[in-house]
A and B are shown apart, each in its own frame.
Chain A
């Protein structure tokens, strides 16, 4: 009986120790990948900017330190939390925030279940508060008590990239135009939506940045022209809304890259995401236009 108790106690101690140790290792990689360190320029967004902006190249071209905190699937609610989390973690306000937008920024499916992205950062009070509101009590407490349950495969990939300090798009694939045309015909493509809560949160984010005195560049990274033209009226309406929001605040500017790049099909890996070549072109163009603005 004594031996049994020892085994149980030691197992629990070792399990807790492994949780702390492995979690610390994963956190280091993750914080590196999501650049949770003081920087002059902060890029906030989802997979479009994660794949479309090369942090190192942008830093080199701007001559300013750049942090890239982009998460696949992050909607407007998540991005506001990301901004607050960044400032809370680093204790530093960036001079400028590059915030990626698109005609699909207010589509509801983007934000579906996206709170799960933040489980690894549960140690932060901002994130904990966000998760308490959105996650189920079972999930919340499981992940709170057992840190190793907070990670998914995407986060493991981010940890490895963080340790390798690699923010480059790894895909050199080119979009299959024939297959996408078929999908357009069938109507099985990502539709433009106007979720009121997402639109309200977008406005709240811009207002919050205004109050914080942080300049914001809304960057519309390019989507494939075929996709933009699939719902022309809704596209114009969504971009018009973003433009009007940008005009509302003096510290906000909109930089739309669709006009120049969306017809260059060789830059896309799929209709929404850029490939490596596209990442270099988009980052270079963005850096050049920002440099002009900064002058």
Chain B
């Protein structure tokens, strides 16, 4: 049940109707049932894993809270982290580690007998594992009381709008929302619907249409010339943003319909003027998770230059590995780490902001280019493909191949322009006064019409594979 397909919206309509028809005391139970149904609709066999994660969070959270000594708390946290991370390590990284070990042994002429396992990656495992882990650390740090109500704890881990691709929720923000009585708010409901429509537009009108071109080029990059490869790299930057932020918008909007506020995950990342700035705007829930639970415990920036460099690289390498068990993701994370360190070396750790629009534009363009180059490693299935693309771009050969029909290419170009102008408008008009009813309705109707006309209601979401 993908959030860009009709069944999801039938499920949502039915869910909303029943949810507000029920009395307050039954609503959380209903949300949990809906979440379990949503997760089971992908693959019911992984319900056991989700239950495991809920049980670990609930039991170990209580155990940490009850421990009288610091050692006891630490011990319970370590146990919780181990039990919480074990499924993720097995399902996501076993084959990667196993295959890497086999390659190493083969290179060293040693025998290696552990076979490759056919493991299906459970939906959203990286997201709900990190959410659970964050909860345990928050309890350990006494930032929150352990959740005694099993229903609230289960809902916190499994809440369906965010389970597949985030945003990664924080217990201090979400648990109080599950505890309080949630009334129907027409303003919040309208804002939720608006966010769903905008997210859907980004996903099905922009991202999935650009995917035609990007997929065609990345499937056989050697057959294409420099302009096509550059365009594919550029389009992928936009595709991944629209795909992921589109999902996030749908998730935030859906949660808002049920009276739950999720945290913001994107803040116009392609208007960043530095790599540091980019990471404050891109996948904010993950970046802040790494900042709070890894970077700061490692020492953050209140340490020597060398130690700080080490901390930055560890965070970015882990961030790369979080996305996927592949060396290309590690390279992607590593590239961002190196770029951030270079930036710190050139401009200092706390640089003065750019003042003139020209310097801002140049810095913004340069940041976008660097991010786009790094995305090549993210998108390419292996280093060989990434190197073919980079070599193709640098060799300056061949002409522009459309890769798709001329009609599709022209329509995509036009839709991209509409999206870019719309995004710039929102960026430059952040606090717009409440528009009149007819203007809002017209905006929603135009977006819905464009979704109906140009939308591709088929492809999955990129981040659901993480």
Contacts and interface: CB of A to CB of B under 8 A. Distances in A.
A11 B445 contact: yes
Contacts of A153: 405, 407-408, 411
B260 to A, nearest CB: 18
B407 A7 contact: no
B187 A4 contact: yes
B190 interface: yes
Nearest to B188: A4
B453 A6 contact: no
Contacts of A3: 186, 437
**Chain B, interface SS category:** helix
A148 B450 CA distance: 8
Given A14-B441, A153-B411, A7 B190 contact: yes
A19 B441 contact: no
Given A10-B438, A22-B449, A157-B406, A4 B190 contact: yes
Given A11-B445, A148-B449, A153-B405, A1 B411 contact: no
Interface residues of A, number: 23
A166 B449 CA distance: 27
A142 interface: yes
B190 A22 contact: no
Identify the interface centre among B186, B449, B455: most chain A CB within 10 Å of its CB: B449
B6 interface: yes
A22 to B, nearest CB: 7
A18 B437 contact: no
B440 interface: yes
Contacts of A22: 449, 453
Given A153-B407, A154-B407, A156-B407, A1 B186 contact: yes
A172 interface: no
Sort chain B's interface into a size bin. Answer: 20 to 34
Nearest to B452: A148
B442 interface: yes
Given A4-B187, A14-B442, A138-B6, A157 B449 contact: no
B442 A4 contact: no
B445 A156 contact: no
A18 B445 contact: yes
Nearest to A158: B407
Given A1-B186, A3-B437, A153-B405, A14 B445 contact: yes
Interface string B420-453: 0000000000000000011011101110110011
B189 interface: yes
Interface in A111-161: 138, 142, 146, 148-149, 151, 153-154, 156-157
Interface in B167-215: 186-187, 189-190
Interface string A1-40: 1011011001100110111001000000000000000000
Given A7-B190, A7-B440, A14-B442, A19 B405 contact: no
**Which of A4, A153, A156, A157 counts the most chain B CB atoms within 10 A?**
A153
B48 to A, nearest CB: 32
Nearest to B449: A18
Contacts of A7: 190, 437, 440-441, 444
B448 A15 contact: yes
A79 B444 CA distance: 39
Given A1-B186, A4-B186, A7-B190, A151 B441 contact: no
Nearest to A161: B407
A7 B445 CA distance: 10
Nearest to B440: A7
B113 to A, nearest CB: 39
A161 to B, nearest CB: 10
Nearest to A160: B407
Contacts of B186: 1, 3-4
Given A18-B445, A148-B452, A149-B455, 16 more contacts: A1-B186, A3-B186, A4-B189, A6-B437, A7-B437, A7-B444, A11-B444, A14-B442, A15-B449, A18-B446, A22-B453, A149-B453, A153-B411, A156-B407, A156-B411, A157-B405
17 contacts: A1-B186, A3-B437, A4-B189, A4-B190, A10-B437, A11-B440, A11-B448, A14-B441, A18-B445, A18-B446, A142-B6, A146-B452, A148-B453, A149-B453, A153-B407, A153-B408, A157-B407
The 9 closest A-B pairs by CB, nearest first: A4-B186, A14-B445, A157-B407, A10-B441, A148-B452, A153-B407, A15-B445, A11-B441, A153-B408
